[in-house]
Amino acid sequence: MEHIDIIKKMPRIHCARGPEICEKCREYMKDISFSLVRVYLAPQEEARPITDIYVGCRKIVGEYDILKRFDSDKEAKEYAIKHGMDICFE
């Protein structure tokens, strides 16, 4: 297993500078919504942002890609049920 797909609340990302420096990143931090996230368990060749997830009772920190953003919490929950995926409500 090279990656884990999970639905998690994530802010939008604008650039690598982050919200401390970039005004647009600060604006995007206000838009936190459920997203389908692919978390890679091993370091990859491309530079990616990092997030943490729990697999069982182990906390894993890994690089991630956002595969899909959901327009509503209901849409995210329905997608998780339909595809048998974990959803993180934190």
pLDDT in tens, 10-55: 888 888 888 899 999 899 888 889 999 999 988 878 888 888 888 7
When pLDDT is cut at 50, 70 and 90, the band that residue 81 belongs to is very high
User: Among the residues of the chain, which ranges form H helices?
Assistant: 23-29, 73-83
Residue 36: per-residue pLDDT: 95
Domain ranges of the chain: 3-88
Longest dimension (CA), the chain: 39
Closest CA to 55 of 17, 15, 5: 5
Q: Can you give the pTM of this predicted structure? A: 0.81
